[in-house]
Amino acid sequence: MDESYTMDGSILRILPSQLTSLIFAFLLLNFLGGKALARPQLDGSLLETTYTSPSGRLSCTLSGIPIDSSTFFIDDSSNPEFEGVSFGYQTGESYLVWIIRLQKEGWKDVSPATLDEFPVSSNGYIPYFYSGLPYEISELSQKALSEPGGSTGLLKVQFGSARQVHGYWVRPIEGWLQSVQFLPGLTSIPNGILDESEVRLGLNRMVKQCGFTLGK
Amino acid sequence: MTNFIEMIPYETPERKREAAFKLANIIGISKALIPRNTDYNRVVASLAGIILYRHLDGSRRREVMEMVHSFSTSHRAFCGQMEGKIANLLVQARWEKWSLTNKELEEIVEAHRKFGRLSSIVGANPGAYGVGAATWSIIKHGASTGGIVGFAVSVILVGVGEASYQQGESASAELQSRHKAIPANRNSLIN
């Protein structure tokens, strides 16, 4: 009989070699549990400076983002066909917001106000987003990515006297659409309006710091 | 000017300052960012407008955005977070549960109730049995690849069941908090 199962009275004897496995299982359970408790308001987790979505398909390194600032926010959402995270903070006269999302291609969304259905496609992704905002939009630049169907661009956004430059990066891959949007808040204070190079920098920063993993 | 506060499915305190804090809490904006020494009617109207935003036509959306942007100079972070909340709603309709209609919430509760019923037919959460068996197997035979894979799959199954339960509970709690309020705000737009 294997000694490891032997019961001496009511005490289970575990050999030292098996203790390692038990500790491994204990740590794994604690690690998974800890992730869920780290930020109860998030579906995913924020451990130190890394956000990971519930499925693990989407992760962002938030190094350089002041996550302890009183102006910082982070919010996420997930379902089998969508994962997204948004976060932002104030710096000087600007409030910077990023939205990172991964969405199943072809999935229909419905606007409750109009009951219109919108296909999720690489062409419709960004126009659909701006169709819900009462802003005047004009294109400043647009460039195709090396991946087929992918694009990145800058938009001039205006609402009354407030204005701003927004950036986007979208690419379709394996039936999914991935996107990074950089949305500094609109403002009428000249110091708060970012120039094109600053927006491109902010956009590319999260394109680099956010990873998408498919096939899970 | 549209009276958005009358249309939301939440009961709010009479005093606008308290109403502002309550609505900010519902939406998930930090209390610290709510403007002090200000016209709280404007704060409350902006927050109520955000709750209703998905259900408004173009001209009312413009009205909400004008109120939100009226804080852009004096309270940059408050305005920025309100803009961020609106962006979330446009990206994914179900991102924020406070923006859902009662019907949408009821559909979520029903979907998760069905999932829960299926689990109870199978016999509690099958993943939980798997975790127990896989943990015992790892203790007994050491951490073999098969044992770890079995353990991981079972943990994922438990997670799916737990996530479904939590989402259903969350939607149900949201509905209950609204049911208390509906008689107070009879003009609720999102029923």
Q: Do A133 and B61 touch (CB under 8 A)?
A: yes
Query: DSSP class of residue A36?
Result: H
Sign for the pseudo-dihedral over CA of B122, B124, B127, B129: negative
Are both B138 and B120 inside the same structural domain? Answer: yes
In tens, the pLDDT along A132-167 reads: 999 999 999 999 999 889 999 999 999 999 999 999
Are both B86 and B154 inside the same structural domain? Answer: no
Q: What pLDDT does residue B148 have?
A: 65
| Chain B interface mutation, best of A71, A100, A102, A188, highest count of B Cβ atoms under 10 Å | A71
Q: Which three-class secondary structure state does DSSP give residue A160?
A: coil
Q: Do B138 and A24 touch (CB under 8 A)?
A: yes
Contacts of A18 in chain B (CB under 8 A): 139-140, 142
Confirm whether B116 is domain-assigned.
yes
Confirm whether B189 is domain-assigned.
no
Q: What pLDDT does residue A60 have?
A: 97
Are both B62 and B137 inside the same structural domain? Answer: no
Sequence-separated (6 or more) residues with CB below 8 Å from residue A203: A152, A167, A168, A169, A180, A181, A182
Nearest to A99 among B81, B91, B140 (CB): B91
Our count of domains for chain B comes to: 2
| Chain A interface mutation, best of B61, B71, B91, B137, highest count of A Cβ atoms under 10 Å | B91
Chosen domain end from B68, B96, B124: B96
Q: Is the pLDDT of residue B171 over 70?
A: yes
Are both B119 and B136 inside the same structural domain? Answer: yes
Q: What pLDDT does residue B114 have?
A: 75
Structure tokens at B105: 């919430």
Q: What pLDDT does residue A136 have?
A: 97
Chosen domain end from B96, B131, B163: B96
Residues 163-182 of B with CB under 8 A from A: 163
Confirm whether B61 is domain-assigned.
yes
Q: Is the pLDDT of residue B166 over 50?
A: yes
Average pLDDT of the residues in A79-101: 94
Q: Do B94 and A185 touch (CB under 8 A)?
A: no
Sign for the pseudo-dihedral over CA of A74, A75, A79, A84: negative
Nearest to B65 among A75, A134, A187 (CB): A134
Of A156-170, B34-48, B77-91, B92-106, the least confident: B92-106
Are both B81 and B136 inside the same structural domain? Answer: no
* Top-confidence residue, A4 or A145: A145
Q: Do A134 and B95 touch (CB under 8 A)?
A: no
What domain range includes position B56?
4-96
Sequence-separated (6 or more) residues with CB below 8 Å from residue B175: B102, B105, B106, B109
Confirm whether B52 is domain-assigned.
yes
**CB proximity B137 to A under 8 Å:** no
Average pLDDT of the residues in A67-80: 92
Q: What pLDDT does residue A109 have?
A: 62
Q: What pLDDT does residue A123 have?
A: 85
In tens, the pLDDT along A176-199 reads: 999 999 999 999 999 999 999 999
**CB proximity B153 to A under 8 Å:** no
Structure tokens at B129: 């049995």
Confirm whether B191 is domain-assigned.
no
The C-alpha of B97 sits at a distance from chain A's nearest C-alpha, in angstroms, of: 10
3-class DSSP string for chain B = CCCHHHCCCCCCCCCHHHHHHHHHHHHCCCHHHCCCCCCHHHHHHHHHHHHHHHHCCHHHHHHHHHHHHCCCCCCHHHHHHHHHHHHHHHHCCCCCHHHCCHHHHHHHHHHHHHHHHHHHHHCCCHHHHHHHHHHHHHHHHCCCHHHHHHHHHHHHHHHHHHHHHHHHHHHHHHHHHHHHHCCCCCCCCCC
The C-alpha of A47 sits at a distance from chain B's nearest C-alpha, in angstroms, of: 18
* Top-confidence residue, B152 or A69: A69
Contacts of A124 in chain B (CB under 8 A): none
Q: Which domains does chain A have, with CATH numbers?
A: 1-38 (no CATH), 42-212 (3.40.1000)
Are both B13 and B75 inside the same structural domain? Answer: yes
**CB proximity B151 to A under 8 Å:** yes
Percentage of chain B modeled with pLDDT above 90? 42
Q: How far apart are CA A130 and CA A108, in angstroms?
A: 16
Q: Do B138 and A25 touch (CB under 8 A)?
A: yes
Chosen domain end from B40, B75, B96: B96
Q: Is the pLDDT of residue A71 over 90?
A: yes
Sequence-separated (6 or more) residues with CB below 8 Å from residue B15: none
Q: How far apart are CA B37 and CA B15, in angstroms?
A: 14
Confirm whether B62 is domain-assigned.
yes
Average pLDDT of the residues in B161-179: 74
Are both B58 and B112 inside the same structural domain? Answer: no
Are both B108 and B66 inside the same structural domain? Answer: no
Confirm whether B187 is domain-assigned.
no
Q: What pLDDT does residue A19 have?
A: 56
Are both B25 and B105 inside the same structural domain? Answer: no
Q: Do A133 and B86 touch (CB under 8 A)?
A: yes
Residues 28-87 of B with CB under 8 A from A: 28-30, 32-33, 54-58, 61-62, 65-66, 69, 72-73, 76-77, 79-81, 83-87
Q: For residue A191, what is the enclosing H or E element? A: none
CA angle B148, B151, B157 (to 5 degrees): 140
Residue A60 region by backbone torsions, left for phi larger than 0, else alpha for psi between -120 and 50, else beta: beta
Average pLDDT of the residues in B82-91: 94
Q: Is the pLDDT of residue B116 over 80?
A: no
Q: Do A71 and B72 touch (CB under 8 A)?
A: no
Q: Is the pLDDT of residue B27 over 60?
A: yes
Contacts of B80 in chain A (CB under 8 A): 71, 88, 90, 95-97, 185
| Chain B interface mutation, best of A1, A19, A27, A28, highest count of B Cβ atoms under 10 Å | A28
Nearest to A185 among B61, B80, B89 (CB): B80
Reported pTM: 0.76
Q: Is the pLDDT of residue A2 over 50?
A: no
Q: Is the pLDDT of residue B63 over 50?
A: yes
Are both B22 and B81 inside the same structural domain? Answer: yes
In tens, the pLDDT along A196-209 reads: 999 999 999 999 99
Q: What pLDDT does residue A16 have?
A: 58
Q: In angstroms, what is the C-alpha Rg of chain A?
A: 23
Q: What pLDDT does residue A162 have?
A: 95
Q: Which strands sit side by side in the sheet containing A73-79, from one edge to the other?
A: A73-79, A82-91, A94-104, A176-182, A162-173, A151-159, A136-144
Counted across chains A and B, CB pairs separated by less than 8 A come out at 145
Are both B60 and B89 inside the same structural domain? Answer: yes
Separation of first and last alpha carbons in chain B: 22
Confirm whether B186 is domain-assigned.
no
Are both B114 and B88 inside the same structural domain? Answer: no
Q: What pLDDT does residue B32 have?
A: 92
CB atoms within 10 A of CB B97: 17
Q: How far apart are CA B29 and CA B27, in angstroms?
A: 6
Q: Which three-class secondary structure state does DSSP give residue A202?
A: helix
Closest CA to B179 of B191, B187, B168: B191
